[in-house]
Amino acid sequence: MMKTDEDFMGLALTEASKGRYHTWTNPMVGAVVVKDNQVLATGYHHRYGDVHAERDAISKLTPEQLFNSTLYVTLEPCNHTGKQPPCSDLIIASKIKRVVISEIDPHSLVTGKGIKKLKAHNISVTTGVLAQEAKKLNQHYVYFYEHNLPYVTLKQALSLDHKCSYPNKRIQITGNAASQRVHQERADYQAIMVGSSTALIDNPTLLTSIKQDHPPIRLVIDRRGRLLNQQLTLFSDNRAPTWIFTQNPELAKTSYPPHVKVFLLDQGTLTEVLQILAQNKVQSVYVEGGPALMKSFVEEKLAQELITYFSPTFLGSNALDGFEITENLKLIQPNYQVLDKDIRISGRIDYV
């Protein structure tokens, strides 16, 4: 049975997803080489700094196999030298006849340039096959290069009476299944953010159980400098980079271990924080802070996604409320999932 471009690109997307948790600031990319309606080789970008998906697939074949073949790749081949040489040159040298691309790369170094070079060498190029699926796979990467700001997801855990915790006391509302899912979510982001209250009350590690070459950067928003002279695990464990954002000059002058960096803010806004993160190539942020921090992100319309874990418990009137939504917003195509006794609801935020 003859297979379609969508069939082969679906396989390429499956290959791309194998790089999850390991490509860091690089996108997940998959490639498939096809000839006479038969798959000859597959490849993907295994980890940051390694060979690109196209080279991974092409390297498995002989020149005879590659001649007049079709390459399916989920993202536009690069035409510049970075940590790896240009994939466009390799495709041309391999005498591949046709290249099918799912998504044009939003990175300005790449956008359109790889396609232009392939066409200049009489290679047939088709674009847009399963483009939405490819964009979703690398939505943080795409958003970052389209908007020059990190993709921000807010995560909260709530009881059925819309409570999030008790004053000055660390508690875990949800069960183990939800906790494991949160660790997976953390690993999908390049940074994890909390406010100073969460840092002081919970003394968290903000780590993930997923093994990674580049663990998420731990971010703390501490405008007033409440963390000054505090003995926190974040400062001493040296297990992941830790960045503090403050308007307190004394905190900015404090000497910390090499894994801790302090940024002195001028205006003290979340927009300023995100701009600093963008300048440092941080593409995505997973916000686990308290209700005040969550509310600020929503009010400033800086969050793209909301994840809520509901626990079938009631914490009572002495507990703290979850963040109050005063804006008119809704979730686009919300996803619902049962995790043991808890319910996870997620979706893109539509600021109506």
**Structure confidence by residue, pLDDT tens digits, 18-32:** 999 999 999 999 999
Question: Is residue 153 marked as binding?
Answer: no
* Comma-separated ranges of CATH 3.40.430.10 domains in the chain: 148-350
Question: Is residue 126 marked as binding?
Answer: no
Q: Cβ(202)–Cβ(173) under 8 Å? A: no
HSE-CB at 8 with a 13 A cutoff on CA atoms is 25
Q: Cβ(42)–Cβ(18) under 8 Å? A: no
Q: How confident is the model at residue 70, as a pLDDT?
A: 98
State the pLDDT confidence band at 81, using cuts at 50, 70 and 90: low
Summarised one tens digit per residue, pLDDT across range 245-263 is 999 999 999 999 999 999 9
Does CATH number 3.40.430.10 belong to domain 148-350?
A: yes
Place of tokens 């008790």: 166
Q: How confident is the model at residue 92, as a pLDDT?
A: 96
The CATH superfamily of 5-138 is: Cytidine Deaminase, domain 2 (3.40.140.10)
Question: Is residue 293 marked as binding?
Answer: yes
Instruction: For the chain, state the CA radius of gyration.
Output: 23
Q: How confident is the model at residue 109, as a pLDDT?
A: 81
Whole-prediction pTM: 0.94
**Which among 292, 349, 321 is positioned nearest to 151, based on CA atoms?**
349
Q: How far is CA 108 from CA 76, 78, 98, 284, in A?
A: 12, 11, 24, 18
Q: How confident is the model at residue 178, as a pLDDT?
A: 96
Q: How confident is the model at residue 108, as a pLDDT?
A: 87
Question: At a CB cut-off of 8 Å and minimum separation 6, what does 322 contact?
Answer: 156, 158, 162, 163, 164, 291, 294
Question: Is residue 164 marked as binding?
Answer: no
Q: How confident is the model at residue 93, as a pLDDT?
A: 96
* Cα 316 from chain centroid (whole Å): 35
Mean pLDDT of 221-240: 94
Nearest-angstrom CA–CA distance, 264 and 244 = 8
Q: Side chain identity at 81, as an amino acid letter?
A: T
* % of the chain surpassing 90 pLDDT: 87
| Average pLDDT score over the chain | 94
Summarised one tens digit per residue, pLDDT across range 165-178 is 888 788 899 999 99
Selecting among 54, 76, 103, 185, the annotated active-site residue is: 54
Q: Cβ(174)–Cβ(185) under 8 Å? A: no
Question: Is residue 78 marked as binding?
Answer: yes
Question: At a CB cut-off of 8 Å and minimum separation 6, what does 81 contact?
Answer: none
Summarised one tens digit per residue, pLDDT across range 321-342 is 988 877 788 999 999 999 999 9
324 carries an active-site annotation: no
Question: At a CB cut-off of 8 Å and minimum separation 6, what does 27 contact?
Answer: 45, 75, 105, 137, 138, 141
Does residue 293 surpass a pLDDT of 90? Answer: yes
Place of tokens 């996108």: 27
Does residue 343 surpass a pLDDT of 70? Answer: yes
Question: Is residue 288 marked as binding?
Answer: yes
* Comma-separated ranges of CATH 3.40.140.10 domains in the chain: 5-138
Nearest-angstrom CA–CA distance, 294 and 50 = 37
Q: Side chain identity at 159, as an amino acid letter?
A: S
Mean pLDDT of 123-141: 97
Residues β-bridged to residue 34: 39, 70
Mean pLDDT of 136-153: 97
Question: Is residue 295 marked as binding?
Answer: yes
